[in-house]
Amino acid sequence: MIKLLDVTKVYPRTGAALEGVNLHVPKGEFLFLTGHSGSGKSTTLRLIHMAEQPTSGEVRVSGFSSLRTSRREVWKVRRRVGFVFQDFRLLPGRDAMGNVAFALEVTGTPKKEIRPRAQRLLSQVGLSVKGRSQAHELSGGEQQRVAIARALASEPLVLLADEPTGNLDDRATRGILDLVWELNALGMAVVMATHDLELVRSYPSARVIELDQGRLVYDSSQAEGKE
Amino acid sequence: MANAIREAASAFKRSPLLMGLSTLMVGLALFVMGLFSLATHNLRLALATIEERVEVVAYLREDTRQVDLDAAIETLQTLPGVEEVRYFSKAEALERAIRDLPEIAEVSTDLEVNPFPASLEVSFLPEGRTAEAVEAVAAIAEGFPVVEDVRYGREWVERLFFLRRIGGFTALILGGAFATVATLIIATAIRIAVFARREEIFVMRLVGARDSLIWRPFLLEGAATGLLGGALAILLTWLTYQAVFHFLFALDWIPMSWAWGGVGIGILFGVLASNLAVRRYLKEV
Ligand SMILES: Nc1ncnc2c1ncn2[C@@H]1O[C@H](COP(=O)(O)OP(=O)(O)O)[C@@H](O)[C@H]1O
Ligand SMILES: [Mg+2]
């Protein structure tokens, strides 16, 4: 469903962030993207989200190719690909419900359906009673749950998560991972960038790949038993 | 439509000074156009009346012989476009002058001789009132030995046309200057608006909102600026019209279709200016 074909990304000043990366993420997979800081994890996620174009090579997401998808059409890709960040990126001045409703509204949900669907999404992430809380009144873990609910608004095929637990304590981290694991069990693929190897080890059935200086140096699906 | 009004209102709330300024500048640009329209419209009406009076006047020498005069009249009458050739004697000329300017009566009684020359007045058929026909008649009249001097109304008509062109040119320069300033201010206002909403824009792109949904509010903001500017221009033009009407001279109000056209231009301009700005500044957030 997601394919990176010999993808290289070069930034003008900092040089190659990714070099010759090949990767296939099938439907429904849970994938940890690991590597040191600066190894290219975020760049990989941004390329899949088509926020950027590869310098060479091709990114394919659910039938869309980076070579043929114009800026005008990127929104179609975005609706199939949810995205959450380390710093949540919730809109201040809106409550939890408002943040989820905003995503539904701008992706063309009929007005009457917005509130009930936002309510359903909030309960899906375990926040049914916190709908009226402003972002700053929520804990980090709760904010990330709102962000996940927002990412689910367009019923994506895959959730991209860039260090989603980077700002969270152990308990909240567990909570988020359990939630994402549950969503994955319902059929949604997950690609989670993290440098927390302990966290990765506690989900041994997930696929793990490692980037090092922009190169894919390890893939658990191709190196069974080796670590 | 309700959405558009809501967007515009929130834009004004966000940066009232800039929105006010851009509205004012659009208004001034259109006001210059409004003044020009007012002048053009009234000039056109005036020209229509003057054109009815287009005629060639040939002033005659003192020592004109009747035969020469008859020959001249006969020739002029056969020229294309000519409706009628009338002879005014010196006495009639004086009479007419006194009618127009009664003071002359007092002076003229003291005068030994009547200073007004006799003349031939050539009037034209409606379809004959072209610059070429009038000039041709004037040129031929000038050639008669009995004729001292030739005057014709076309000169005035052309002078008025010239004035109108100068007016149009001035309006273009002034209007263009205001429009440029308006564009710059609108662009600044849009930039601030885009910046103020950068987080919303980020989330909209993140979750897959269509581009048009992202920039529509800014175009609406531009359209609202144009609409208000147009309304302001109509108001200013109307106030000027009232002032001139009451304190200077009577004139006609411009046709309402011109006024609506001006508002349309304002809206179009607002949308174009904000479109330019949006294209540019949405890339920055
Ligand atoms: N927008 C950018 N402009 C220039 N260089 C960038 C940009 N984003 C990332 N980089 C560079 O690309 C490399 C990989 O960065 P990133 O993908 O953020 O790594 P990670 O997420 O694994 O920490 C780094 O060297 C970083 O400096
Ligand atoms: Mg990163």
Q: Cα–Cα distance between B156 and B153 in angstroms, integer? A: 5
In a shared domain, residues A76 and A161: yes
Residue with tokens 């208004």: B27
The per-residue b/e assignment along A117-153, b for 16 or more CB within 10 angstroms, e otherwise, is bbbebbebbbbeebbebebeebebbbbbbbbbbbbbb
Cross-strand partners of A33:
A193, A209
> Is the predicted pLDDT of residue A145 greater than 70, yes or no?
yes
**Long-range pairs of B105-114 with CB within 8 A, sequence gap ≥ 24:** B114/B90
Q: Does A111 touch chain B (CB under 8 A)?
A: no
How far are the Cα atoms of A52, A54, B82 from residue A46, in angstroms, in the given order?
Answer: 6, 10, 83
**Lowest-pLDDT range, A57-61, A125-129, B54-58, B110-114?**
B110-114
Q: Give the alpha-carbon dihedral of B176, B180, B181, B183, to 10 degrees.
A: 130
The reply to whether A123 falls in a domain is: yes
Domain count, chain A: 2
Give the mean pLDDT of B39-50: 77
Q: Cα–Cα distance between B273 and B269 in angstroms, integer? A: 6
Triad B203, B207, B208: Cα angle to 5°: 115
Instruction: Please identify, among A154, A170, A203, the residue that sits at the C-terminal boundary of a domain.
Output: A154
CATH of the domain at A194: 3.40.50.300
In a shared domain, residues A74 and A176: yes
In a shared domain, residues A73 and A176: yes
Instruction: Please identify, among A108, A127, A154, the residue that sits at the C-terminal boundary of a domain.
Output: A154
The reply to whether A86 falls in a domain is: no
Q: Which residue on chain A is closest to B199 by alpha carbon? A: A91
Q: Cα–Cα distance between B76 and B78 in angstroms, integer? A: 5
Nearest residue, CB atoms, A89 vs list B203, B210, B211: B203
Q: Cα–Cα distance between B191 and A173 in angstroms, integer? A: 39
Q: Are strands B55-60 and B119-124 parallel, antiparallel or unpaired?
A: antiparallel
- Over chain A, what is the mean pLDDT? 95
Asked if B208 lies within 8 A of A154 by C-beta distance, the reply is yes
Q: Does A79 touch chain B (CB under 8 A)?
A: yes
- Give me the domain span that covers residue A202: 1-80+156-227
Phi, psi of A39 (to 5 degrees): -80, -15
Give the mean pLDDT of A75-102: 96
pLDDT digits over A78-88, tens only? 999 999 999 99
Residue with tokens 């834009």: B11
pLDDT digits over B149-165, tens only? 888 765 666 776 677 77
**Lowest-pLDDT range, A100-114, A148-162, A213-227, B66-80?**
A213-227
Closest CA to B148 of B203, B187, B93, B224: B93
Cβ-based contacts of B200 with chain A (< 8 Å): 91, 102
Instruction: Please identify, among A154, A172, A199, the residue that sits at the C-terminal boundary of a domain.
Output: A154
Q: Is A32 exposed, middle or buried (0-12, 13-18, 19+ CB in 10 A)?
A: buried
Give the mean pLDDT of B6-11: 75
DSSP-derived letter for residue A17 is E
The reply to whether A85 falls in a domain is: no
DSSP-derived letter for residue B17 is H
pTM over 0.90: no
pLDDT value at residue A224: 60
In a shared domain, residues A66 and A172: yes
Q: Does A94 touch chain B (CB under 8 A)?
A: no
Domain ranges of chain B: 2-49+161-284, 55-151
CATH number of the structural domain B55-151: 3.30.70.3040
In a shared domain, residues A122 and A22: no
For ligand 1, is residue A156 a contact (CB within 6 Å)? no
The reply to whether A36 falls in a domain is: yes
If you measure from the C-alpha of residue A38 to the centroid of ligand 1, how many angstroms do you get, rounded to a whole number? 6
User: To test the ligand 1 pocket, which listed residue (A7, A14, A83) has its Cβ within 8 A of the most ligand atoms?
Assistant: A14
**By the 8 A CB rule, do B23 and B228 touch?**
yes
Read off the tokens for A87.
Answer: 């710093």
> Is the predicted pLDDT of residue A37 greater than 90, yes or no?
yes
In a shared domain, residues A115 and A72: no
Q: What is the ipTM of this complex?
A: 0.93
Per DSSP, helices labelled H in B101-253 are 103-110, 131-143, 154-196, 198-207, 211-247
In a shared domain, residues A63 and A44: yes
